Structure 1
């Protein structure tokens, strides 16, 4: 799950960067030029460690040892009214992550994830060992597993808009959106063909049906 993966990767990058800085002679000369940019890139994509999204880790099979501590942290904030939920998701500062665990990112806003995704959170109060027998937990696990990757979808939409932003593009917003849908549909059909055959021929292209709902 993303929260656990992001935290583990950032810790490894911070550890490597510190080790290189302490004793550069033990590392290849160019290694630092890879580690630092990787850490800088990752620190701009730590939204899974925000209060709201870190609770996704409860549904991961890779965070079994952390679920009890995450649960305890969440219950401390359950029904708390001294700090309102926030609309803005704040990513943690990367230099503070070296000694952090997932439980350290839990806050008042962590409960809102259940409401936003329509997941009954009552299973959290059960012993962790009983979660897999809970219908609410299994439903939540299914919902989380089918969440689209928002960043990937946004980048694809931006790429499509950029590709079609020419002088010949329709001026009408309605026509432009229709063009986006057509091009997106064609690309999806061609992608399916390209990944299913080694060679894309004129005959195979001609066999594609371009009608869709």
Structure 2
């Protein structure tokens, strides 16, 4: 669960959700996936464009993302995080989240977006792309906070019980308490 580089955050988030959907214990996978689906910031239509600057994103996927950015009309007020149905996540790709709103990220990087009119296989030699990629890589991502939270809950649950059933019950009790008392400190 490592996405210290902003450009890999969309792929990391989507891969995590797919892994949870395919988890062997369907009940735990479904519950975990439901929680994580509420935190899919980086696959939102505005931020999924970060994956264009990730060297691990294959050229075919970049082509599909650019095509969606040019053809799929985005919402007038897009949600800040993607709405991802866990039962259909296996069929989703990064391109399926991209819309015309995804161009806004590239524009915000301030290096121009003419490279979007060129095949992604040729981007590496373009100044506008390399400048935008450098700027995108320096954006901070918040997955490191989530990682600390996961480490904390793992250590906490491990100190209280080693029984998985009791651990799941404990997590449900904590979640119910948080729902009942959202402002409790």
Do both proteins adopt the same fold according to a TM-score greater than 0.5, normalized to the shorter chain?
Answer: yes
**Which runs of no fewer than 5 residues in structure 1 stay unpaired?**
22-31, 157-213
Choose from 73, 77, 92 the match for 1:86. 77
The answer for the alignment partner of 1:101 in structure 2 is: 93
Aligned length: 137
Q: Kindly report which structure 2 residues correspond to 1:66-145, keeping only aligned pairs within 5 A, or say none.
A: 66-77=61-72, 85-86=76-77, 88-95=79-86, 96-145=88-137
Cα offset, 1:88, TM superposition: 4.0
How far off is 1:15 after superposition? Answer: 1.6
Residue 90 of structure 1 and its aligned partner are, at CA, apart by 3.9
8 Å CA contact 2:38–2:81 kept in 1: the answer is no
2:47 paired residue number: 53
- CA RMSD in angstroms comes to 2.5
1:15 aligns to 2:26 (yes or no): no
TM-score by length of 2: 0.64
Q: Tell me, yes or no, if the aligned pair for 1:3 and 1:102 is still in contact at 8 Å.
A: yes
The alignment partner of 1:61 has SS state of coil
TM normalised by structure 1 equals 0.56
Which structure carries more relative contact order (alpha carbon 8 Å, separation 6+)?
2
Gap regions ≥5 residues in structure 2: 1-7, 149-185
